[in-house]
Structure 1
Amino acid sequence: MNPQNYKIPKSETGFYSILVGLGIFVVVLITFLGTAFFQVLNDNQINSSKINLNKQVELSSKQIEKRFTAFYDDMFFFVNNLEPWTYEKGDNEVLAFEKRARRIFNNHRDLLDTITVFFPNQTVVFHFDNRNNFIKEYLESKKNLPFPAQNELHLNNFTTNVSISAKVNLERFFFDEMTNYYLGISGEKLIFCDGKLRGAHDQTLKGGFSIEETILNQMLIQVADGLKGDFRGNFSNKNEEKEFEALIHHYPFSLYPLKSKFSTVFVVDRNIITTGIFSTYFYLILALLILLALVILILFKSIKNSQLTNETLSKNANEISELFRRQALLLHETKGFIYFQDEMGKMTSVGGEVKAVLGYEKEDFRKNFKDYISKKDRSRIEKTISESISKKNGSISFELDFKTKSGKYKRTKIFERLEFDQKGNFIGNVGICTDIQEKYEREQEIVKSENRLRAVLNSLPDLIFIYDNEGRYLDYYVKDQSLLVAPLEGAIGKKLIDILPKDLGNQIQQVFNHTIKTGNMQTAEYEIDIPSGRRLFEARFFRLDNDKVMSIARDITGQKLWQRGLMEAKKAAEEANLAKSEFLANMSHEIRTPMNGLLGIIPLLEATTLDEKQKEYLQIIRDSGDSLLNIIRDILDYSKIESGEMTLYNSVFKLKAEIEKIFKIFSGLVNEKNIQFTSHFDASLPEYVELDKDKLRQILINIIGNAIKFTPSGGKIEVDITGEMVFEKHVILNFEVKDNGIGIPKDKIEMLAKPFVQLDSSSTREHQGTGLGLAISQKIIELMGGELLINSEFGVGSVFSFNIFGKVWNRSDNFLELVEEEDDNEDFIWKNMAQEYPLKILLAEDNSTNLLFMDMLMTQLGYNYDVARNGSDAVRMAKESDYDLVLMDIQMPVMNGLEATKIIRKSRGRKITIVGLSANAFQEDVDQAMETGMDSYLTKPLKINEITSVIRSCSSKNGIKKEVN
């Protein structure tokens, strides 16, 4: 047919006219629907924006109120947990207080500027400076605050008289909180407070924002009533010189205890919300119209080709359906290949992925796949498939081992879909083979691990049981059946309370229930009779998972017996140590009592007329007595250190003056040996320190004494003292004692600080001693927080250095209490001092030697005194006469000095001065004497200057002193 002679039939012309008319109608319909849809979308966009604004402004207000409430709660908790003595009790309390203050700053940094804490005697200010340093300042009173009393919260604890003032920065707080919400380029975030609007502008809250007056009035009413609201009206921003119709939403909130009413206000330009819709949907409608024209054109052409297309689709329909079915199966499983079989089990097709899984080519595997199945799986698989076909199962799955191209077996999982015709006859199947080798190996490893764990549990000597949450036995592992309370045959499924004896069952059930309730491990100990005898067990219950509980019970009978033996041994050791302490105390008393008479009478003899030979003999007696006292002191001190009973007794004293006193002690020996002794005090040393003065004195006497002892005549000793400030109020004192003495061999330095060790232990050694001095000094230094270092070279000299930790005091400190810095008692002329200091004195003493010494001393002092030979007589005589001073021995027959002091204090009060006399030199003895009411305590052997110092102190206390011309 010639195409030029071809004419369109009338039927086709009518069809085309209908198609064109239908196209015009569709265009008009789309235009109408697009316009209507735009209007709906525009309204929906505005409503969506309103909902979003409403949620955001509510979240913002609640978050601000929540954050401020959390801050106020923290401050309230802080003030109610402060004690007025925080800065008086010690450094630990101060550090804990300052840590709490810093933690509050860290939690509320965007809100809080300054915290001021007012203690009764101290005002402390905390704040951060411009460099983000945490600053602490001390003020004397509230008048010295560095900021005016505005934007502040005041919290008072009237019980403790402690208060806190916190200065807050609401502007920064509001700005930081509102930055968490995004309103778009046209949005404004404002704070409404007391009828005024302020908004975030250039990172600060500023004014210059206004809303229609009617809206502002309504908002003011709603905020006062605590109601949220939304409006639509004009809004202007004078900061950026713009005005627009806006959506306005606000949500009120309060900041307790502030009285102002607040509300968060979010504003969005309504026009910007809908501006994007116009352009977007204009182009969308235009695109739809163009698309419609293209569709009509394509449809016109497709009519001509519809018959050819239908024929092609018909031919390919079955193939497409098959492809979709294969795709669905491939999506069901991964890492595998697909295959097809007919009703005889012959493979008709296989996917090319078989090579990646098993290594075979497609054709090779299709023909020989049965040969590649492991022999142990063949019969099982054939039986499984046969049973599934007979039962008309839709699908089956199983696992088998395939032999790969490399000769190794690989674990695979098979999923097959069985196909049946309408009559129910099997017509073939399609399947997927998936590689599960890695999963299979992991499962096998888990099985092996479980078997190993089971073997370990079976080998443990403990009794292991597993229960459900109701206490029923699920499993158990028991190696030794003789440890069981009852046989476990038939116990699985029964509750433990049904198996155990009643009392034990109730106890264990309570522990079990507590384990279930808390989820934490619980322990129970129980004693019970078993076939092997009465035994003690410890059982621990804990959760295995949400459904199981495990218990492990162990026989601890032997352990308890061992612990009991250990406790008995410890008790015996403590008793032995107590006996040793009592022996040392008695030894001290027994030795010091005769030494009191021996050494006390020496100053009296020195006051008599003596020739040079007699003075020499007297000096020998004094030196021997002092050496014996030092040996006794060293033994007692080391005994206390060894038992861990040595305690530090800190006091405040003038550092340099006290050390110079120690230097004076050695002045005679230094001059005698012609030693060049120099000392240097660093300028950084504090004037007053707080530490144990007596312990420091003992350390320096030991170390300097050793230096003098081992430095030859004409030698040189240098003492250097420096200080290092720590934490403002503390100091590390560094001492260095350097000499050019005989020195110490390198291999002997480590032995030097060991007790009872002397480098020369021969009977002919030149320098005598117990070998305890350095050992005691090292222990005391460690107790005072320091370390002793020894550097020495044999034949050259030695350097002993140590450091100790102390507290610094200043004269400006309000509660600094100092004893008189220097007593002039050393230069005091004590003979016939009764004329200047007349006192009525009672001496309570039972030892004849001490009475003889005191009689000689009192005679030279010019006092007539009374004597009580026991505590009972002292009480009686104190009631009968008005004594100014009682010198009370501690250990006396009938009634000791402590009991006598208590009775005298009850009858005479504090008017009479009572001074304890004892040979016991332990600090606890001194403390006990002071607690009973004694005013002072002197340790035997007594020194004349100590007695005269007590008399002068008593005279000063009672206002008794005669003017002597």
Structure 2
Amino acid sequence: MSPIPVEQMPFYLLGLAAVLLLGIEAWRRAAARARAHRDEIEILQTRIETLRDEKWAIAEREERYRDLVRAQGDLILRKDLQGRLTYVNDVFCDTFGRDRTEVIGHPFVPELPEGQRPRMLASFAGLATPPYRIRYDERTLTARGARWIAWEEFAIRDDDGKLIEIQAVGRDVTDRKETEERLAEALQQAKDANRAKSLFLATMSHEIRTPMNGVIGMTKLLLDTKLNPSQRSYAEAVRASGEALLNIINDILDYSKIEAGKVTLDEVSFDPRAVIESVAELLAPRAFDKNLEVVTEISPSVPRSILGDEARIRQILLNLAGNAIKFTVEGGVALRLLRAENGSGGRADLVFEVEDTGIGMDEQAREHIFDEFAQADQSHARRYEGTGLGLAITKRLAGAMGGRVEVESEQGRGSIFRVSMPLRRAIGESDAPFPAPLSGLRAIILNDHPLVGRALARAAEAAGAETHLVSGREALTAALRSAPADIFICPLDGAEGEGAALAAHARTLSPDIGTLLLLRPQDRARLDELTSGENAPFDGYLVRPVRAASLVARMTALRVRGWMPGAGAPETQDYEEGIAEEAAPPPLVAISPLTVLVAEDNEINALLTRTLLEHTGHEVRLARNGLEAVAALEADTDEEIDLVLMDLHMPGMDGFEATARIRGLETPHAHIPVIALTANAMADDRQACLDAGMDDYLSKPVAAEALSETLVRWAGRRSPCGGAPANASGEKANHA
């Protein structure tokens, strides 16, 4: 190679430099491309790793889903548009004993017991409308026999909302179905038992109330005759006991309503004082048999007329006071009537208290005493019998009337049951102060029994008297020597000995003092020797438990007759003669005499009804059963019979059938008023009578007032029931 001339060397070097520069640039670009490829490779490798992770996660989720489906106890299947199975889970295969390969691609309808129609859908017909799913139970034949399957079918849609498959999920609910069947069977048995109980109660009600009708009704007739005070007292006791038994029967019939919380309450005007005193008198014989005292204490602020359910309040008091007597061995029971401090305006919130000196209760017993079948003594050796339902019923009744029941008690120290009752004063009742007829009178009371002494003192003080309690002869002597007294009150026999001796001692110290004897009903035989004659130790007597009105009346009578110091002894007069001479029960309302056909199979009840009617001038015709009643109307061609009193339960033909026969007569008697006369007292009895074509309802025992009102209401009227047309004067019956 020839050397490069010197003059060309610069150009040569420049070319060489340019070549070097081009090579360096090419290398740089190649290096950049290499780096870019390397980065792309790293990104691809990262993406590949991510895809591998996602694939693994998807595989893991799929495996978890498969495990979940395999572990699922429900049957799962899917069907395509032609009803062919596209998927079934293992539970499906195990349940029906089929292999997956046998069923996929084929239609499926479960095999059912004979006589059942399949309900599983073979198309989308039932899933085309909201909520796009259906549920039903179906009894299906499986590899384990007939089983109840609860199916739920719903539509599967693609992203465009197009229906593509049906999915069905079934759950074996055989155990639930069997339980439901057993519960349904038990419920039916309970309903049957309840119907049997209702029938039993209705039957027993009729069988018991029928003779009770005779007892109470004939006793009322007896009370309308002339009786001496003792006879009247005995007859009143029979009447009160009969009515109490009747109330018990009514309570038993009403117990199912109490259990269900459906207690029917009446609001009538009544005197709460009379209620609490009558309860004490009713329970007094039971208390006296146990040598217990029963007293009543009534606050002067209690109004004499309030609005409420008198029968329910009486039932509450009977339960509480009866329990108190049962669980008291010595001492007594006090029934108190107080007025709550928060009563204002037209309200007269009252508090009824029943205090006893009985066995008491510990804290555990107090917590459960109002539970059903609970008693303070729950041991097997308990001395006190009873069902333990009384207090539970009491609490429910009080709650139904908006009240509440509380108890205070200590073991061995007695109990106080307190019932707070929100009530309203009757119209016209005010808070005006009560008169004080005993104002200025001083009485000494032997506190032989603290319950009795305190109760008498409070009653006398409420009427304006000044009272002084003494514990015995020495205290009586000191009281009479310290200040003169007008009246001395003591029991016949007490801890301080013969009451007559104490009365004589009081007269020795204060010759002009009046003396009153506290007498138990069974001691009436000694009245003549104790209150009659010039030397009789007592000027009068009060029967225990003493009513406040009787105490005030007796003390007032002594004052009015001048039995004050220095006035001389008055003639002895039995205060109870005033009671004996009270007006007889008001007669039936006077209406024109009617001819009444009485269909009654019980001779005593027939006699009672006949007597009530004949006493007011009505003519009575008797029929012993429904057949005779229908025959009597058919024979009454002159239409003399104006009204029929129809007993419901009679032999041969009962009152319902007889009424139907009467309504089918082709004579005007088809529209004769028929009044149901029955001892039944169930809630539906009245409506049943009206539905049977009767016009009104009288429940036995028949009260003279109720019978009078019924006769007045139907005299001269015709019944709208019956096949024959009513006459022009017929009126529509008032079934209200």
**Fold similarity call, TM over 0.5:** yes
Tell me the equivalent position of 1:575: 192
Task: Give 1:924's aligned amino acid.
Answer: D
Do the aligned partners of residues 496 and 765 (structure 1) sit closer, same or farther apart at CA in structure 2, a change above 3 Å counting? Answer: closer
2:47 equivalent to 1:413: yes
CA distance in 2, matches of 1:721, 1:873: 63
Q: Which residue of 2 aligns with 1:699?
A: 312
- Does the 8 Å CA contact 1:831/1:862 hold for their aligned counterparts? no
**1:894 lines up with 2:514 in the alignment:** no
Partners of 2:606 and 2:122 lie apart in 1 by 72
Are positions 1:455 and 2:73 aligned together? no
Kept after mapping to 2: 8 A contact 1:469/1:516: no
Q: Is the 8 A contact 2:596 2:643 kept in 1?
A: yes
Mapped to 1, the partners of 2:182 and 2:279 lie a distance apart of 55
Which residue does the alignment assign to 1:874? 629
3-state SS in 2 of match to 1:838 = coil
Q: Structure 1 residues 456 and 604, CA, compared in 2 at 3 Å: closer, same or farther? A: same
Closer, same or farther: CA 637–748 of 1 in aligned 2, 3 Å: farther
Q: Rg larger in 1 or in 2?
A: 1
Does 1:630 find its partner at 2:257?
A: no
> What per-residue deviation string (whole Å, max 9, x for no partner) do you get for residues 668-692 of structure 1?
456896633349799xx9x99xxxx
Q: CA deviation at 1:867?
A: 0.5
Judged with a 3 Å threshold, the aligned counterparts in structure 2 of structure 1 residues 612 and 511 are, in CA distance, closer, same or farther, namely farther
CA displacement at 1:892 relative to structure 2: 1.4
The Cα shift of 1:448 comes to: 3.8
Please state how far the C-alpha of 1:936 moved relative to its aligned partner. Answer: 2.9
Q: How does 1:704-853 map to 2 (within 5 A)?
A: 704-706=317-319, 716-720=336-340, 736-739=350-353, 741-742=355-356, 745=361, 746-759=363-376, 772-779=389-396, 788-794=404-410, 795=414, 797-801=416-420, 837-853=592-608
Pairing partner for 2:270 from 660, 673, 676: 660
Superposed displacement of residue 566, structure 1? 3.3
**Relative to structure 1, is the Cα distance of residues 602 and 484 closer, same or farther in structure 2, using a 3 angstrom cutoff?**
same
Separation in structure 2 between the aligned mates of residue 679 and residue 927 of structure 1, nearest angstrom: 44
Query: CA separation in 2, counterparts of 1:941 and 1:830?
Result: 16
Task: Indicate conservation of the 8 Å contact 1:496/1:509, yes or no.
Answer: no
Cα distance in 2, alignment partners of residues 750 and 942 from structure 1: 44
Paired-residue identity, %: 28
Matched, 1:926 2:693: no
CA distance in 1, matches of 2:649, 2:595: 23
How far the C-alpha of 1:702 sits from its partner, in A, is 2.2
Cα pair 1:482 1:530 within 8 Å, conserved: no
Assess if the C-alpha contact under 8 Å between 2:642 and 2:716 holds in 1.
no
Counterpart Cα distance in 1 of 2:320 and 2:621: 47
Q: Does 1:588 align with 2:217?
A: no
Structure 1 pair 719/876, CA: closer, same or farther in 2 (3 Å)?
farther
Deviation at 1:576, TM superposition (A): 2.1
The answer as to 2:558 corresponding to 1:948 is no
Deviation at 1:555, TM superposition (A): 3.7
Residue 397 and residue 789 in structure 1: after superposition, are their counterparts in 2 closer, same or farther (change >3 A)?
farther
2:641 is matched with which residue?
A: 883
Answer yes or no: is the 8 Å Cα contact 2:593–2:619 preserved in 1: no
Q: Aligned residue for 2:482? A: none
Contact residue 634 and residue 776 of structure 1 kept, 8 A: no
SS of structure 1 residue aligned to 2:594: coil
Amino acid paired to 1:934:
M
In structure 2, C-alpha distance between the alignment counterparts of 1:677 and 1:785, rounded to whole Å = 21
Q: How many Å separate the matches in 2 of 1:944 and 1:765? A: 46
Higher relative contact order (CA 8 A, sep 6+): 2
Preserved CA contact (<8 Å) 1:734 1:801: no
Structure 1: distance between partners of 2:186 and 2:334: 56
Aligned to 1:915, what secondary structure does the other structure show? strand
SS at match of 1:930: helix
Q: In the TM superposition, what is the alpha-carbon distance from 1:639 to its structure 2 partner?
A: 3.5
Structure 2: gaps of 5 or more residues: 1-21, 159-163, 285-293, 326-331, 428-581, 719-728, 730-736
- 1:452 is matched by which residue type in structure 2? R
Task: Measure how far apart 1:768 and its partner are.
Answer: 9.6
Size of the aligned set, in residue pairs, is: 504
3-state secondary structure, aligned to 1:479: helix
Distance 1:771 1:623, change over 3 A: farther
Measured after TM superposition, the shift of residue 846 of structure 1 is 0.7
The secondary structure found in structure 1 opposite 2:684 is helix
User: Within the alignment, does 1:475 sit opposite 2:91 as a pair?
Assistant: no
CA contact (8 A) 1:526 1:537 kept: yes
Corresponding residue SS for 2:408: strand
1:407-446 CA-to-partner distances (Å, cap 9, x unmatched) read: xxxxx326xxxxxxxxxxxxxxxxxxxx96xx98787666
TM-aligned CA distance change 1:837 to 1:543, over 3 Å:
same
Deviation at 1:717, TM superposition (A): 1.4
Contact 1:462 1:478 in 2 (8 A): no
**Structure 1, residues 284-308: CA drift from partner, whole Å, max 9, x if none?**
xxxxxxxxxxxxxxxxxxxxxxxxx
Cα distance between partner residues in 1 of 2:273 and 2:643: 34
1:799 counterpart letter in structure 2: R
CA 567–719 in structure 1, closer or farther in 2 if over 3 Å, else same: same
Deviation string 1:210-258 (CA, Å, 9 cap, x unpaired) is xxxxxxxxxxxxxxxxxxxxxxxxxxxxxxxxxxxxxxxxxxxxxxxxx
State whether residues 663 and 670 of structure 2, in contact with CA within 8 Å, keep that contact through their aligned partners in structure 1. Answer: yes
Alignment correspondent of 1:241: none
Cα distance in 1 for partners of 2:388, 2:103 equals 71
Structure 1: gaps of 5 or more residues: 1-314, 323-338, 352-394, 401-411, 415-434, 726-730, 810-826, 960-965
Task: Tell me, yes or no, if the aligned pair for 1:742 and 1:797 is still in contact at 8 Å.
Answer: yes
The 5-angstrom pairing of residues 490-639 of structure 1 reads: 490-496=102-108, 507-510=119-122, 512-543=124-155, 546=158, 547-639=164-256
Counterpart CA distance in 2 for 1:945 and 1:525 is: 62
Deviations 1:431-486 (A, max 9, x none): xxxx96xx987876665444333213212333211344554433221236352275
Cα 1:866–1:348 change in 2 (3 A) is closer
Q: Equivalents in 2 of 1:956, 1:537: separation in Å?
A: 69
Residues 538 and 861 of structure 1: CA distance in aligned 2, closer, same or farther (over 3 Å): same
How do 1:129-140 and structure 2 match up within 5 A? none
Amino acid at match of 1:717: L
Equivalent residues in 2 for 1:8-27, closer than 5 Å: none
2:356 is paired with a residue whose SS is coil
Match of 1:227 in 2: none
Q: How far apart are 1:887 and its partner, in Å?
A: 1.6
- In 2, the alpha carbon distance for the partners of 1:341 and 1:523 equals 67
Distance of 1:498 and 1:942 partners within structure 2: 69
Deviations 1:750-800 (A, max 9, x none): 444344555479999999987544433544566x59574435355573332
Residue 497 and residue 741 in structure 1: after superposition, are their counterparts in 2 closer, same or farther (change >3 A)? closer
The answer to whether the 8 A contact 2:112-2:139 is kept is no
- Aligned residue type for 2:242: G
Task: Name the structure 1 match of 2:100.
Answer: 488
Return the offset for 1:845.
0.3
State the TM-score, normalizing by the size of structure 1.
0.44
Query: Does the CA-based 8 Å contact 2:408-2:416 persist in structure 1?
Result: yes
2:67 aligned partner, one-letter code: A
Bigger strand share: 1
What is the CA distance between 1:602 and its match in structure 2?
A: 0.7
Shift of 1:603: 1.1
When residues 790 and 950 of structure 1 are mapped into structure 2, their CA distance, relative to the original with a 3 A threshold, is same
Aligned CA distance change for structure 1 residues 900 and 662 (closer, same or farther; 3 Å):
farther
CA contact (8 A) 1:736 1:799 kept: no
